[in-house]
């Protein structure tokens, strides 16, 4: 199978990590992959907050039950929207789709390099947004989109088979 398709089809969410550091150049490769994502009019309205501090990872894991695995991950990244880089008018909300595209690119690059990660949802849950804004000291106009704990997987995780022919319609519903 083609390498890219293989990566897409075998990516699982990984929620348990080894206590083993991720090399600096690997982190940069992941961020480069995220920033290679498509965005509306190539606006790239994103920013990435890497979280390496153990106390901060534990604080986030404790404050966010949906992302408790952050407490035991070697690092995490918060993918954020930068609202003054997004498009005007109704198109402003494209920053969310841009953030999702960057997130998926990041997750696929993680898997391609043998690491593991999980997308933990932040936007649009106001309680989670407030926790990230406060913990990461995000300035006004920077909106946390998601939090991705990542590292070396603690064990093998199988990808799910999600193929659903009933979800496909041709020409009309
Ligand atoms: C928008 C979004 C929010 C998610 N939020 C969480 C979360 O808060 N915690 C979590 O453990 N997984 C979260 N996930 C991961 C999903 O649970 C996971 O992708 C789904 O169960 C499919 O499994 P897979 O990623 O292994 O294919 C989220 C995924 C998406 C796309």
Specify if 73 maps to a domain: yes
Ligand 1 centroid from CA 121, angstroms = 7
Residues with a CB atom less than 6 Å from ligand 1: 12-13, 15, 66-67, 118-121, 160
Mean pLDDT (whole number) for 161-167: 98
Q: What is the percent of the chain where pLDDT is above 90?
A: 99
Ligand 1 centroid from CA 120, angstroms = 6
State pLDDT tens for residues 22-81: 999 999 999 999 999 999 999 999 999 999 999 999 999 999 999 999 999 999 999 999
Specify if 166 maps to a domain: no
| Cα 130 to chain centroid, rounded | 18
Specify if 146 maps to a domain: yes
Residue 1's pLDDT band (cuts 50, 70, 90): confident
Mean pLDDT (whole number) for 146-151: 99
Find the domain containing 61 and state its range. Answer: 22-154
pLDDT, residue 107, reads 99
Q: Are strands 75-82 and 46-51 parallel, antiparallel or unpaired?
A: antiparallel
DSSP 159: P
Specify if 135 maps to a domain: yes
| Cα 35 to chain centroid, rounded | 12
Mean pLDDT (whole number) for 135-160: 98
pLDDT, residue 137, reads 98
Determine the residue of 116, 119, 145, 148 to mutate for testing ligand 1's pocket, defined as the one with the most ligand atoms within 8 A of the Cβ atom. 119
Cβ 149 vs Cβ 13: under 8 Å: no
3-state secondary structure of 75: strand
Cβ 54 vs Cβ 83: under 8 Å: no
- 64 Cα nearest atom in ligand 1: 8
| Cα 81 to chain centroid, rounded | 12
Rounded CA separation 170/173 (Å): 7
Read off the CATH number of the domain in which 81 is found.
Answer: 3.40.109.10
User: How many domains are there within the chain?
Assistant: 1
- Residue 59: phi, psi to the nearest 5? -65, -45
Specify if 13 maps to a domain: no
């Amino acid at each position: 199978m083609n390498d890219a398709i293989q990566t897409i089809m075998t990516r699982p969410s990984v929620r348990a990590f080894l206590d083993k550091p991720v090399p600096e150049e690997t982190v940069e490769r992941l961020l480069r992959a995220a920033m290679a994502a498509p965005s509306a009019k190539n606006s790239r309205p994103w920013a990435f907050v890497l979280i390496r501090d153990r106390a901060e990872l534990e604080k986030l894991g404790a404050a966010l039950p949906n992302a408790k695995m952050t407490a035991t991950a070697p690092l995490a990244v918060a993918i954020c929207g930068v609202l003054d880089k997004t498009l005007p008018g109704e198109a402003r909300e494209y920053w969310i789709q841009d953030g999702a595209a960057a997130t998926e690119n990041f997750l696929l690059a993680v898997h391609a390099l043998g690491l593991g990660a999980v997308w933990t949802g932040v936007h649009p849950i106001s309680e989670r947004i407030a926790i990230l804004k406060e913990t990461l000291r995000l300035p006004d106009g920077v909106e946390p989109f998601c939090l991705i704990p990542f590292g070396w997987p603690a064990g093998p995780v199988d990808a799910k088979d999600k193929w659903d022919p009933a979800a496909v319609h041709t020409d009309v519903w």
